[in-house]
């Protein structure tokens, strides 16, 4: 006999009560805390990451020996930790939540996406310098050199001004030039002097493909620059939807562990959620794709993954899990199941829509420019990178002086260029190993999905903020937290953040911090590969 609606409601309220109480008590406590510095926030993240690792261990104890009351107590504690984590993420400061920050990233993304037909991928700095010169150079009077985005070389300002004059004459109408100068000077007037003179004009500028620009650029065209915060809040909607999707697919506990990672990871140091223009759409779509696969919503899974791949390119490697599942079925059953057709249909709809619209709006020449720009960008190296190549270049440096003594970051860039083929070979070997694992274990596409991070780590060295994609690992481990190896792997991921944040607390160089993540991930992957080998040897009780 079914339970009455009143009984079901009472049970639901009893289960939800510890979470609600935990959130309310933690929020009330946090509201009394004064704003803290960014470095203090790193200290808070370090502590929270350590507590989160302990919570994973506690969850194992409760699952093994505790009762429902103890489990609900841990749920309330998780909710409280997540709440404190969000306050610490925004430094207990309402201005960090409601503001923009240093404006650098939003300047690139807003102006270059809005004026991509005129600027392409190479013209932002030249056009900006000319606009600034036309009003007397109040913000760039002391600037001597800039990065020419056409070849990434550092050159005199005179070269940039000449490039700007060429763009104004050949690419802009008078009305569009006036509009661009209005927008870019609005940003320049809000950028810090130090950033303008040391960072803004030597960064690598704007890099998203036209398929991202068709979304972000049209949003920028709809919203005046004075109200840019409206566009920045779109990312908050993306991330809220992502966590809702995790809770729907895998439960509130898995969602809580994933959220804890999000608020403690150094990958979330920049850009801050709500301070950038559509910087988190790809990771939200990527995680949601895995959730949809797990719940059998294959059409939406394909659409989400297609969106992520078209908007950041590199998420295309996460087609690996679905592709191996499809290939196994083709070999064994000589047919394509309806779920694979629905997945492919979802990819096709999104791809046709984004590619078609961007081709019509920007033309094929912009795609060629984007591909060339991306190739140049992938050959560069900085102190913000994470990957196997970054790990192999690390010599234990903790200060900028030690880095310069070894030839500096540029020397490391030359070395990593020479390592491209060995790194790609390592990535191909990782793909082959995952393919063998998929064939032998018959894992579903959603469980193979996060394993693509292994070849991604081997072949590429992206900025650390892109390693937000470790959310996929937390979702996977959270969904299988009843198994010992998944608890061990989740603890390892949290401990990586403990050590990484510690390097910031003791003020080691930023290079040391990001490379610590590379070292920690290498340790994680060694343990993961060991668990996969264990399973291949038919010892599932000790494996994944």
Query: Domain span at residue 157?
Result: 105-226
Count of structural domains within the chain: 2
Q: Which of 26-35, 248-257, 330-339 has the lowest mean pLDDT?
A: 330-339
| pLDDT on residue 7 | 56
Is 276 domain-assigned? Answer: no
- Measure the CA dihedral 264/267/273/279, to 10°: -160
Is 29 domain-assigned? Answer: yes
Look up residue 524 and give its two tokens: 């994680």
Do 9 and 87 belong together in one domain?
yes
| pLDDT on residue 94 | 95
Q: Which residue has the higher pLDDT, 61 or 231?
A: 231
Average pLDDT over residues 204-218: 95
Do 82 and 115 belong together in one domain?
no
Do 125 and 218 belong together in one domain?
yes
Average pLDDT over residues 218-227: 96
445, 410 Cβ separation under 8 angstroms: no
| pLDDT on residue 360 | 96
Q: Which residue has the higher pLDDT, 60 or 311?
A: 311
The mean of the pLDDT values for the chain is: 93
Is 278 domain-assigned? Answer: no
Do 194 and 218 belong together in one domain?
yes
C-alpha R_g of the chain: 24
3-state secondary structure of 385: strand
Compute the distance between CA of residue 281 and CA of residue 312 in angstroms, rounded to an integer.
9
3-state helix, strand and coil shares in percent for the chain, rounded to the nearest 5:
75, 0, 20
| pLDDT on residue 510 | 93
Q: Which of 184, 201, 226 is the last residue of a domain?
A: 226
DSSP H helices in 334-419: 338-362, 364-379, 388-393, 400-405, 408-418
Whether residue 293 has pLDDT greater than 50: yes
Whether residue 377 has pLDDT greater than 90: no
How would residue 1 be classed by pLDDT, with cut points 50, 70 and 90?
very low
511, 397 Cβ separation under 8 angstroms: yes
Backbone angles phi, psi at 155, to 5 degrees: -135, 165
Is 297 domain-assigned? Answer: no
Q: Which of 50, 65, 98 is the last residue of a domain?
A: 98
Do 55 and 70 belong together in one domain?
yes
Within a 10 A sphere around the Cβ of 209, how many other Cβ atoms?
22
3-state secondary structure of 100: coil
Whether residue 382 has pLDDT greater than 70: yes
Do 10 and 84 belong together in one domain?
yes
Look up residue 341 and give its two tokens: 């057709």
Task: Kindly report, residue by residue over 311-367, the tens digit of the pLDDT.
Answer: 999 999 999 999 999 999 898 888 899 999 999 999 999 999 999 999 999 999 999
Average pLDDT over residues 381-398: 95
Is 7 domain-assigned? Answer: yes
3-state secondary structure of 463: strand
Average pLDDT over residues 521-531: 97
Compute the distance between CA of residue 474 and CA of residue 321 in angstroms, rounded to an integer.
17
91: left (phi over 0), alpha (psi -120 to 50) or beta: left
277, 321 Cβ separation under 8 angstroms: no
Do 63 and 133 belong together in one domain?
no
Average pLDDT over residues 76-98: 96
| pLDDT on residue 282 | 97
How would residue 485 be classed by pLDDT, with cut points 50, 70 and 90?
very high
Is 482 domain-assigned? Answer: no
| pLDDT on residue 3 | 54
Closest C-alpha to 321, from 489, 209, 456, 208: 456
Percentage of residues in the chain with pLDDT exceeding 90?
Answer: 86
Do 113 and 214 belong together in one domain?
yes
Whether residue 91 has pLDDT greater than 70: yes
Do 110 and 61 belong together in one domain?
no
Do 134 and 190 belong together in one domain?
yes
| pLDDT on residue 334 | 86
Do 43 and 24 belong together in one domain?
yes
Do 82 and 127 belong together in one domain?
no
Is 445 domain-assigned? Answer: no
Is 149 domain-assigned? Answer: yes
Q: Which of 98, 126, 159 is the last residue of a domain?
A: 98
Q: Which residue has the higher pLDDT, 225 or 540?
A: 225
Within a 10 A sphere around the Cβ of 170, how many other Cβ atoms?
8
């Amino acid at each position: 006999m079914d339970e009455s609606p009143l009984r079901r409601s009472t049970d639901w309220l009893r289960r939800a009560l510890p979470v609600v109480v935990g959130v309310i008590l933690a929020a009330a406590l946090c509201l009394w805390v004064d704003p803290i510095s960014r470095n203090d926030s790193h200290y808070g993240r370090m502590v929270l990451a350590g507590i989160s690792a302990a919570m994973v261990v506690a969850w194992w104890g409760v699952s093994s020996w505790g009762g429902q009351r103890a489990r609900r107590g841990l749920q309330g504690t998780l909710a409280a930790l997540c709440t404190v984590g969000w306050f610490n993420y925004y430094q207990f400061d309402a201005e960090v939540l409601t503001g923009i920050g240093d404006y650098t990233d939003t300047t690139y993304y807003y102006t270059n996406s809005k004026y991509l037909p005129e600027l392409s991928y190479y013209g932002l700095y030249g056009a900006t310098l000319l606009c600034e010169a036309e009003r007397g150079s109040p913000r760039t009077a002391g600037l001597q050199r800039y990065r020419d985005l056409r070849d990434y070389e550092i050159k005199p300002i005179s070269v940039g001004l000449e490039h700007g004059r060429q763009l104004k004459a050949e690419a802009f109408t008078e009305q569009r030039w006036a509009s661009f100068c209005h927008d870019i000077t609005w940003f320049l007037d809000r950028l810090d002097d130090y950033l303008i003179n040391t960072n803004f004009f030597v960064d690598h500028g704007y890099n998203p493909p036209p398929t991202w620009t068709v979304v972000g650029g049209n949003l920028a065209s709809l919203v005046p620059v004075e109200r840019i915060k409206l566009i920045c809040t779109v990312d908050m909607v993306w991330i809220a939807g992502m966590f809702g999707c995790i809770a729907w697919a895998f439960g509130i506990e898995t969602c809580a562990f994933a959220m804890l990672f999000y608020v403690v990871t150094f990958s979330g140091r920049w850009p801050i959620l709500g301070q950038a223009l559509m910087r988190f759409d790809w990771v939200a779509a990527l995680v949601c794709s895995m959730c949809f696969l797990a719940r059998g919503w294959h059409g939406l899974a394909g659409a989400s993954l297609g969106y992520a791949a078209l908007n950041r390119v590199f998420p295309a490697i996460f087609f690996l899990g679905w592709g191996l599942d499809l290939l196994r079925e083709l070999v064994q059953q000589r047919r394509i199941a309806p779920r694979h057709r629905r997945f492919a249909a979802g990819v096709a709809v999104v791809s046709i829509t984004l590619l078609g619209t961007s081709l019509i709006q920007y033309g094929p020449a912009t795609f060629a420019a984007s591909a060339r720009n991306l190739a140049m960008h992938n050959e560069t190296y900085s102190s913000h990178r994470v990957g196997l190549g970054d790990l192999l270049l690390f010599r234990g440096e903790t200060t900028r002086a030690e880095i310069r003594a070894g030839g500096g970051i540029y020397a490391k860039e030359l070395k990593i260029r020479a390592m491209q083929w060995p790194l790609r070979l390592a990535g191909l070997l990782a793909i082959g190993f995952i393919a063998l694992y998929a064939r032998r274990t018959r894992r579903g596409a959603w469980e193979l999905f996060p394993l693509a991070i292994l070849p991604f780590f081997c072949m590429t060295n992206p900025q650390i903020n892109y390693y937000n994609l470790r959310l996929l690992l937390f979702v996977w481990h959270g969904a299988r937290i009843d198994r010992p190896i998944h608890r061990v792997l989740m603890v390892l991921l949290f401990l990586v953040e403990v050590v990484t944040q510690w390097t910031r607390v003791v003020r080691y160089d930023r290079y040391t911090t990001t490379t610590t993540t590379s070292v920690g991930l290498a340790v994680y992957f060694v343990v993961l590969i060991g668990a996969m080998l264990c399973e291949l040897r038919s010892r599932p009780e000790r494996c994944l």
